[in-house]
Chain A
Amino acid sequence: MGAIGQNEILFLAQGLKWTLLLSIIGFVGGGVFGLGIALARTSERSALRKTAAGYISVFQGTPLLMQLFVVYYGIALLGVSIEAWMAVAIAFTLHASAFLGEIWRGGIQAIPKGQTEAANALGLHYLSRMKDVVLPQAFKVSLPATIGFLVQLIKGTSLAAIVGFIELARAGQIVSNQTYRPLLIFGIVGAIYFTICWPLSLYGARLENRMAKAAR
């Protein structure tokens, strides 16, 4: 068995950095595009609604692993050479935008019709109606589900290993192979994931509880 020294720890830290970066990119990119998807999904134009619905069902109906493959090799097939982390970031952004779009669609539709009608009666246009009236309320009701998805996304970044990307889980595997101490290494890796995800889950659950109580 090999010793676990500074090198191994640094290697894991490097993996952790990529896991966090990938999660942030996926979440921010997915958030921006997801907002577009949610707005399209609740649009008055049926063509937009249908396109968004199709997009959502494709990404919700296929494994994330497959989406990673398709983007990674698909981009290569187009003759464009990009780095692995870019391909992975694109795949995660697309994936997250579909899920966040669907979560926020639900939030938008949960806002009582009277809110939109009052805004309309005051003469507010679509942009202000959404930005000032509907979305702030929709995000609030969607927050627990949004946090739940963020946790899934963070854990889901481990799948990026499949296209050769060294994030936390893959880094753990490599270190474990070098040191022959899989239990210890994966114990550490698991503890890191847990430390990131558990507080988020807890926060989401708290919010949900508080909202349920406020609704009563």
Chain B
Amino acid sequence: MLHAADTQSPLLSMEAVDKWYGAFHALKNINLTVRKGEKIVLCGPSGSGKSTLIRCINALEKIEKGTIMVEGTKLDDSGKSIDAVRREVGMVFQSFNLFPHMTILENCTLAPMRVRGTGKAEAEKIARKYLERVRILDQADKFPAQLSGGQQQRVAIARALCMEPKAMLFDEPTSALDPEMVKEVLDTMIGLARDGMTMICVTHEMGFARQVADRVIFMASGEIIEEAPPETFFRNPSHPRTQAFLGEILAHH
């Protein structure tokens, strides 16, 4: 078990956050605090607002009410606060979203060069370091389409790491993968967790949750229904909706 979270002030917090898509109330009074080094797994039925929640954290979606703080920066509409937050938070998507017209190496050097102003040689050094870490350095000169899904997702993780973020958001990183490739990506994420990265992962990989999570959060209809350490969450879920959800998930796995 990895419960390495230390007890300092939170790295990230959401306070009374509400979000609407038009008339649809997508997030309802979300309160969430994540300390440095903590690993959170977010689960819940389709449409429950998991993606919306983590996308609000790096301002890919705008919130209507409440406060989001990341490393002391309060997220508002200003480009400055958005920039500050995005510099600290990396994100990995279900569909990889690698840039198809760039090589793997270029995918990884673009943001450090453009956002941080890092020189090309230095950016490549950083990129090689993280590509090595996700064990894909030998593919550095290929294009994304030449890689398998699992390899592409590992590149996407490396690309985010190249910005040296303090926290990483994962939105169902293994859902688009063939079953035989799920493990290589999960192993990469477990390695990242071991090294102390703060992580919020939307995933239905319950084995991963058991092994890595400090807390599992269950969402339904835009609300956080239940929040507990994995042992409690899986053995003793208190809410009937959580029980029903877990029953379904575990029946499928």
Chain A residues close to B by CB (< 8 Å): 112, 114-115, 117-125, 128, 132-133, 136-137, 140
Contacts and interface: CB of A to CB of B under 8 A. Distances in A.
B163 A122 contact: yes
Interface in B168-207: none
Nearest to A115: B97
A140 B102 CA distance: 13
B60 A140 contact: no
Given A115-B99, A132-B110, A137-B100, A122 B159 contact: yes
A114 B101 contact: no
Interface of B: 58-60, 83, 86-87, 89-91, 93, 95, 97-101, 110-111, 114-115, 156, 159-160, 163
B71 to A, nearest CB: 14
A124 B114 contact: yes
20 contacts: A112-B97, A114-B93, A117-B93, A117-B97, A118-B156, A121-B89, A122-B90, A122-B110, A122-B115, A122-B159, A122-B163, A123-B86, A123-B115, A123-B163, A124-B114, A128-B115, A132-B99, A133-B99, A133-B110, A137-B100
A213 B182 CA distance: 29
Which applies to chain B's interface (DSSP): helix, strand, loop or mixed? mixed
Most interface-central of A117, A118, A119 (chain B CB within 10 A): A118
Contact of B114 (A132, A136, A140): A132
B65 to A, nearest CB: 22
Contacts of A125: 114-115
Contacts of A123: 83, 86-87, 111, 115, 163
A121 B86 contact: yes
Contact of B58 (A112, A114, A121, A128): A121
Nearest to B116: A123
B101 A137 contact: yes
A92 B211 CA distance: 65
B115 A124 contact: yes
A120 B60 contact: yes
B87 A121 contact: no
Contacts of A137: 100-101
A121 B110 contact: no
Contacts of A112: 97
Nearest to A131: B114
A120 B91 CA distance: 10
Contacts of A140: 101
Most interface-central of A112, A121, A124, A133 (chain B CB within 10 A): A121
A132 B107 CA distance: 10
B85 to A, nearest CB: 9
Contacts of B59: 120
B223 to A, nearest CB: 25
B101 A121 contact: no
A114 B95 contact: yes
Given A118-B99, A124-B114, 15 more contacts: A114-B95, A115-B97, A119-B99, A120-B86, A121-B58, A121-B60, A121-B90, A121-B93, A122-B90, A122-B110, A122-B111, A122-B160, A128-B110, A132-B114, A137-B101
A96 B18 CA distance: 47
Contact of A121 (B91, B95, B100): B91
Contacts of B98: 118
A78 to B, nearest CB: 41
Nearest to A132: B110
B101 A136 contact: yes
Most interface-central of B59, B98, B99 (chain A CB within 10 A): B99
A133 B111 CA distance: 11
Contacts of A115: 97, 99
A181 to B, nearest CB: 52
Contacts of A120: 58-60, 86
Contacts of A132: 99, 110, 114
Contacts of A124: 110-111, 114-115
